[in-house]
Amino acid sequence: MIIRDAKFIISAVKPEQYPEGDLPEVALAGRSNVGKSSLINRLLNRRGLARTSGTPGKTQQLNYYLLNEDFYFVDLPGYGFARVPKDVKAQWGKMIGTYLDKRENLKLVMQLVDIRHAPSKEDVEMYQYLAHYARPHAIIVTKADKVARGQYQKHVKIIRQTLGVLPGTPIILTSAETGLGKQEVWDLIAKYVGV
Ligand code: GDP
């Protein structure tokens, strides 16, 4: 897929703020620091469109990016900050829950997990949301360049087992550093959004 145009549209916290129209949406979820901004920038061949790292816990919004006027990337707020107050966590859950439950435009959720670590409690919770709302989803393993090729399968197995990944769920190894998996991710997106 060739991305001719990518632009930030809006940060939304509630359904009234979601963009109007029926363009398909691909959401990206993951723990803070998982490499979400880096992967988005790599997929779009752009630097700095999606903020890298930012301020922990501050970006509690759904960030919409319009691609080629055809579909949206929806960058879901990163989770897993240790010192986020309980009410912020509850707010996060409500916002994500509402989005996953109600948003018809949502065609695919990509949940990112770092190849080096066993999924955290929050990763498991996020996955359970996806399974609960029966949303089409894929697991995107980030930072593959950080481990040796020969170790890939071992790490993938830990991720699959810890999350309880449903049979048939795509798991794609990626690296924002080397570009590994980029084509596979675009093929997956094309299949779900039909572009
Ligand atoms: P975000 O908080 O999920 O948006 O994470 P970032 O994209 O800001 O990445 C967090 C850190 O991991 C940064 O220091 C990145 O340079 C690093 N990082 C992200 N992706 C990769 C990758 O594929 N390989 C390596 N080696 N480092 C990465």
Question: Ligand 1 center to residue 193 CA distance, Å?
Answer: 26
Within a domain: residue 65? Answer: yes
- Report how far apart the first and last C-alpha atoms of the chain are (Å, whole number): 8
Question: Ligand 1 center to residue 32 CA distance, Å?
Answer: 10
Number of structural domains the chain divides into: 1
Query: How remote is the C-alpha of 82 from its chain's centroid?
Result: 20
Query: Among the atoms of ligand 1, which is closest to the Cα of residue 30?
Result: 3
- What φ, ψ does residue 17 adopt, rounded to 5°? -95, -10
Distance between CA atoms of residues 54 and 51, nearest Å: 6
Which alpha helices (H) appear in the chain, and where do they start and end? 36-44, 86-102, 121-132, 152-163, 182-193
Within a domain: residue 141? Answer: yes
pLDDT for position 57:
45
Confidence of residue 38 (pLDDT cuts 50, 70, 90): very high
Domain containing residue 81: 6-193
- What φ, ψ does residue 59 adopt, rounded to 5°? -90, 65
| pLDDT tens string 72-125 | 999 998 887 666 778 877 888 889 999 999 999 999 999 999 999 999 999 999
What angle, 0 to 180 degrees and rounded to 10, lies between the N-to-C axes of helices 86-102 and 121-132?
A: 30
Q: Confirm or reject: Cβ of 52 under 6 Å from ligand 1.
A: yes
Residue nearest to atom 24 of ligand 1 (CA): 143
Residue nearest to atom 19 of ligand 1 (CA): 35
The CATH code of the domain that includes 10 is: 3.40.50.300
Within a domain: residue 150? Answer: yes
Q: Confirm or reject: Cβ of 35 under 6 Å from ligand 1.
A: yes
Residue with the bigger pLDDT between 195 and 184: it is 184
Rounded to two decimals, the ipTM of the complex is 0.99
Q: Confirm or reject: Cβ of 143 under 6 Å from ligand 1.
A: yes
If you average pLDDT over every residue of the chain, what do you get? 91
Distance between CA atoms of residues 72 and 81, nearest Å: 26
Q: Confirm or reject: Cβ of 111 under 6 Å from ligand 1.
A: no
Distance between CA atoms of residues 33 and 56, nearest Å: 9
Closest CA to 39 of 170, 160, 189: 189
Pocket test for ligand 1, best of 33, 34, 36, 38 (most atoms within 8 A of CB): 38
pLDDT for position 195:
78
Question: Ligand 1 center to residue 73 CA distance, Å?
Answer: 18
Residue with the bigger pLDDT between 101 and 57: it is 101
Within a domain: residue 1? Answer: no
Within a domain: residue 125? Answer: yes
Within a domain: residue 56? Answer: yes
